[in-house]
Amino acid sequence: MKRDAQDVIDEFVERMGFAAQADGLPRIAGRILGLLVIEGGPLSFNDLATRLQVSRGSISTNSRILEQLGVLERASRSGDRQDYFRLTRDPYIRLLRGLIERMIKVRDVVVRTKDELPPELTGVRGRLGALAAFYDQTSTALSRIAGEPSHRPDEPE
């Protein structure tokens, strides 16, 4: 039996909320992103609050988060003082770039920790080296997908 299109859309928006929450973002941020993916935008501040059945404060807070991530931007309409939101150009690549940046920061912490430990702690240093290699390989592969040069450091591990 074929499902109603609105039910499918509503479920997608909710699942995007749960996916965002699993990634450490507020659920509402994911729901906003999901709705903008479906609708294409621009959607007004009030449209988002009404469609998602959340407060204006929640839209304000979560739209700022999405703006900081580079996936959402404000738009205006001539003669209208209300804020509108739409997806930025290449929003998914921007999300990927943010992930790459975070991975590189974690990798740097791992390497710094490994380098500060005494050489006789071979087990710990080995595990930290393996973790750093994981972050190197993953960030390099994701950089290729994002169309960026590798972020692999010049120094050997």
Q: Which residues contact 132 (CB under 8 A, 6 or more apart)?
A: 107, 110, 111, 114, 157
Distances from the Cα of 148 to the Cαs of 114, 136, 144, in angstroms?
27, 14, 6
Give the tokens for residue 44. Answer: 């007004």
Whether the pTM exceeds 0.85: the reply is no
What is the CATH topology of the domain spanning 5-88?
Answer: Arc Repressor Mutant, subunit A (1.10.10)
pLDDT, one tens digit per residue, over 42-88 is: 999 999 999 999 999 999 999 999 999 999 999 888 888 888 999 99
> Do residues 103 and 75 touch, judged by C-beta distance below 8 A?
no
**Domain edges within the chain:** 5-88, 92-145
Residue 154 pLDDT level (bands cut at 50, 70, 90): very low
Question: What's residue 148's pLDDT?
Answer: 66
What integer best gives the mean pLDDT of the chain?
90
